[in-house]
Amino acid sequence: MSTPDITTDTHGSPYAAVPVAELDDWAWLLSRLEDWLGHADHDTVEDWADFVGPGGIRLDQVAYVLSHWVPRMRALAGTTTTTPRR
């Protein structure tokens, strides 16, 4: 993986530009994480709740967000790969 370029948008807000070719790798990793979070056992869910504290984001909410990022990243990459590039 390469280092993202830090640039600014037309409003002067900084953002990182990631090479499109790497988006599929990121999508693969996030999809694995989403799957794992979606099948987390009760102890893991409780550990997460203790970590984030009262009012923090729930584990199922994290998985939900990832479930929306993955297809967007794959669409941008122009792929539907389910395994990482080597």
Question: At a CB cut-off of 8 Å and minimum separation 6, what does 14 contact?
Answer: 6, 7, 8
Contact 51, 44 (CB under 8 A): no
> How far apart are alpha carbons 33 and 31 in whole angstroms?
5
Cite the beta strand spans of the chain per DSSP E: 5-8, 14-17
pTM for the whole structure:
0.70
Using 70 as the pLDDT threshold, list the residues of the chain that sit under it: 1-2, 4, 81-86
What is the predicted pLDDT for the residue at 32? Answer: 95
